[in-house]
Amino acid sequence: MPFEIVNQNDYLLVKLSGECTGDEKPSLTEVFQKTMASSGLKLAIIQCGDCGKIAPNFIRDLVAVYREIKSKNGQMRLVGANDSIQEVIRANGVDRVLVNKMSLRGALVDFGLVKTKDIDVNFINPFLTSTVKVFKIQCFMELKAQKPFIKSASDPLLMGDVSGIISISSETFSGTLAISMTEKIFVQIVKNMLGETVPGITSENVDLIGELANMILGQAKVELGTLGYKVEMALPSCVWGKDHKIKHFGSGKCMVLPFETEFGTIYSEIMTNNGVGTEQKAA
């Protein structure tokens, strides 16, 4: 059978695999109705990551399952449906019913089984490790992570003379990553990476700070993916000057990650705005 239903205590997980034709005996609808009745659960996740193809007949089974769940005031989400599957769903006009999420976490947030947090330690840790790794490999600079803290109104608006900023987006949040440092540290990084001695920050070399932000997020993205965060990245930007300000995209709390170097302190700032609500909701 190309499907398996597993009781996950809070919800039913329907694992799809291979090709789902809709000709299966017994059908998904029949099996699901019996499982739902015996479990008493009203939440279902259809895991599509191992499913290569879904036929229109199987779409009708999924819609029948959705209607059964809705009749009990429950919810259903698809997770990890590929482009081909989503196209079949759209062609059958049920994309508002069979809502696909990029990650399991996104579905669980919709169900209220995972609470969105202003600061999630599991989300922050990948940035700590990726920042240390990028500076060691790319900048030949050893960083020692200090205790992170939440930025308060009394803290200065900026932590350095130059900053690289990149926006982050996912199903459950949007925000920004910023990395800031003094001119002294930046000049040393330019020397280490490019073998050039420069007098200071200029329009010719400032893009380097943006590239560092991009590399840090790129490294963190891999680990975040294993934790259920599917992160999208944008192009980095750079700001510098004694009075520059970091404009974060988000209204949540700002977490500051300080890193000590022999040349001074480097600061990374992460701000997220959880529960963006940009996804299309099921009817």
246 pLDDT more than 80: no
278 pLDDT more than 80: no
Kindly indicate the confidence band of residue 273, based on its pLDDT and cuts at 50, 70 and 90: low
Kindly indicate the confidence band of residue 270, based on its pLDDT and cuts at 50, 70 and 90: confident
- pLDDT top residue among 221 and 14: 14
181 pLDDT more than 90: yes
The overall average pLDDT reported for the chain is 87
DSSP assignment of the chain:
--EEEEE-SSSEEEEEEEEE-S--SS-HHHHHHHHHHHH---EEEEEEEEEEEE-HHHHHHHHHHHHHHHHTT-EEEEES--HHHHHHHHHTT-TTTS-EESSHHHHHHHHTSS---SS-HHHHHHHHHHHHHHHHHHS----EE---EE--TTS-S-SSSEEEEEEEE-SSEEEEEEEEE-HHHHHHHHHHHH----SS--TTTTHHHHHHHHHHHHHHHHHHHHTT---EE---EEEESTT-----S-SSPEEEEEEEETTEEEEEEEEEEE----SPPP-
Residue 172 has what pLDDT? 64
Q: Which of 255, 225, 46, 54 is nearest to 151 (CA)?
A: 255
Q: For a pLDDT cut of 90, what percent of the chain falls above it?
A: 61
Mode of pairing for the β-strands spanning 149-150 and 254-261:
antiparallel
- Range of weakest confidence among 44-58, 167-181, 202-216: 167-181
CA 148 to chain CA centroid, Å, is 20
pLDDT in tens, 110-163: 898 876 554 566 678 899 999 999 999 999 999 999 998 888 777 766 668 899
Residue 29 has what pLDDT? 96
26 touches 12 (CB < 8 A): no
Taking residues 196-220, report their average pLDDT. 93
Residue 283 has what pLDDT? 29
67 pLDDT more than 80: yes
Structural domains of the chain sorted by starting position, each given as residue range(s) with its CATH number in brackets? 3-111 (3.30.750.24), 121-274 (3.40.1550.10)
For residue 205, which phi and psi values (nearest 5 degrees)?
-115, -5
- Range of weakest confidence among 7-11, 65-69, 99-103, 243-247: 243-247
- pLDDT top residue among 244 and 42: 42
Residue 243 has what pLDDT? 65
Taking residues 208-226, report their average pLDDT. 89
- Name 59's bridge partners: none
124 touches 257 (CB < 8 A): yes
Q: Which of 79, 22, 6 is nearest to 54 (CA)?
A: 22
Report pTM. Answer: 0.61
Kindly indicate the confidence band of residue 282, based on its pLDDT and cuts at 50, 70 and 90: very low
Kindly indicate the confidence band of residue 227, based on its pLDDT and cuts at 50, 70 and 90: low
Kindly indicate the confidence band of residue 250, based on its pLDDT and cuts at 50, 70 and 90: low
Residue 169 has what pLDDT? 80
Q: Which of 55, 61, 50 is nearest to 15 (CA)?
A: 50
Residue 216 has what pLDDT? 95
Residue 120 has what pLDDT? 60
- pLDDT top residue among 94 and 275: 94
Contacts 24+ apart (CB under 8 A), 91-99: 92/56, 92/59, 94/59, 94/62, 94/63, 95/280, 96/280, 96/282, 96/283, 97/63, 97/66, 97/282, 97/283, 98/46, 98/59, 98/62, 98/63, 98/66, 99/279, 99/280, 99/281, 99/282
- pLDDT top residue among 182 and 247: 182
Residue 57 has what pLDDT? 95
Q: Which two tokens stand for residue 190?
A: 């330019």
